[in-house]
Structure 1
Amino acid sequence: MTAPAISIEPTETITKALRLMLSHKISGLPVVTPNGQLVGILTEGDLMRRSELHTEEKTSWLQGLLRSSGKQAGEYVHTHGRKVGEIMSTEPITIFPEASLRDAVDMMIRHRVKRLPVVRNEQLMGVVSRTDMLRALLPVLSDDPETATDETIRDAILREYQAQDKWAGGNFISVDVKNGIVELNGVVTDERLRIAARVVAENVPGVVSVIDNMTFVEPFSSTEIPPPLFP
């Protein structure tokens, strides 16, 4: 996570919030009281429908009849309010500091949010964002070559094929390795199988390159499509 988090108090103006978001290139701000208690979050989405931009939501006369006066008043505040506390989302999706990276990703995807305030005892500890996920991913995807024997590489590829038996079962792919160069041969009936088989090999440490010699056979017409010239 990023700590301390860039935050703002509910009594501040949205002008200050906008300047903070633009200067720090972030899509949202946790909203906290002077003692650090998280009370909401202000995101780009909260600022999309504004009277100044003439982007307020248009409603039909029927929708207007069905909406209570209180709801309409609340919508007016959201599009015209000048203080952060007036337009912020008051029920932000949060996460505990002890949560796993998987938990954070699951929550972001499930709730369709880009950042999660990290909270303990209602106090803001930091923020974990999609950018933080990318930072964690980069060293794992290092392009630096690793040393491994050809036999070790081949065994690792075959183990992963076995683990992915829902699509890689049946030993339809043969694997040969020489000096770290992997050669894949076999017949596939779905182009996606070819790509997945190649991705397995590319992810094994020590692999220098992958030669795709697999042939795609269209299952209905039995038409054979040779391997790509530039995999």
Structure 2
Amino acid sequence: MKIKDIMSRDIVTCTPTDLISEIAQSMRALDIGCMPVVEGSRVIGMITDRDIVTRSVAKNGKRHVKDVMSDEVISVGPESTSQEAAEIMAQHRIRRLPVIKNDQLVGFVALADLSVPSETAHEASQALHEISEPRHL
């Protein structure tokens, strides 16, 4: 199954200069765990609820998204398959991916999106298993 067939097209984004407190409130209100960080229409990073806790709250309250966001953007294209997305999620131990086409954010796919269609349930199950495996340092 293609990502374009299961991705969410309603995407909430933020900018590097947004205040962490406002982003946290938006995440809570929308019941989401991460947001793409954009400059113009280009995705330059991701911010997660975990980033806010570990890089802001736990480190004396950094104030702006740019101070706590992850600047490595791991993404898929709309023509990627659910299997490819599941493998990327498992490899990078992440549960959500921005969908990017021609440097433009066109969607968002979450592990939960992969588990809904019966054809992709196995891929989602495998990705969740690999994401949840304890890391041995």
- Identity over the aligned pairs, expressed in percent? 32
**Greater CA radius of gyration, 1 or 2?**
1
Matched to 1:134, the amino acid is S
Q: Aligned in 2, Cα 1:22/1:137: closer, same or farther, shift over 3 Å?
A: farther
Deviation at 1:131, TM superposition (A): 2.0
Contact kept? 2:13, 2:38, Cα under 8 Å: yes
SS state at 1:80 partner? coil
String of CA shifts for 1:169-202, please: whole Å, max 9, x gaps: xxxxxxxxxxxxxxxxxxxxxxxxxxxxxxxxxx
Provide the rounded CA distance (Å) in 2 between the counterparts of 1:6 and 1:136.
24
> What corresponds to 2:80 in structure 1?
99
For 1:87, the equivalent position in structure 2 comes to 68
Partner of 1:127: 108
TM-score, normalisation: structure 1: 0.46
Paired AA for residue 48 in structure 2: T
Give the total of aligned pairs: 115
Matched to 2:22, the amino acid is K
Query: Considering only aligned residues, what root-mean-square deviation do their CA atoms show, in Å?
Result: 2.2
Distance 1:50 1:101 in 2: 31
Q: Partner residue of 2:28?
A: 22
When residues 85 and 137 of structure 1 are mapped into structure 2, their CA distance, relative to the original with a 3 A threshold, is farther
1:94 deviates by: 0.7
Change (3 A) 1:103 1:30: same
How big is the shift at 1:36? 1.2
How far is the alpha carbon of 1:91 from its aligned partner? Answer: 0.7
Q: Helix, strand or coil: the match of 1:97?
A: coil
> CA shift at 1:109, angstroms?
0.8
Post-superposition CA distance 1:119-142 (Å, at most 9, x none)? 11221111100121233249x8xx
Are 1:38 and 2:43 counterparts?
yes
* 1:51 Cα deviation from its structure 2 partner: 6.1
Runs of 4 or more consecutive aligned structure 1 residues displaced over 6 Å after TM superposition: none
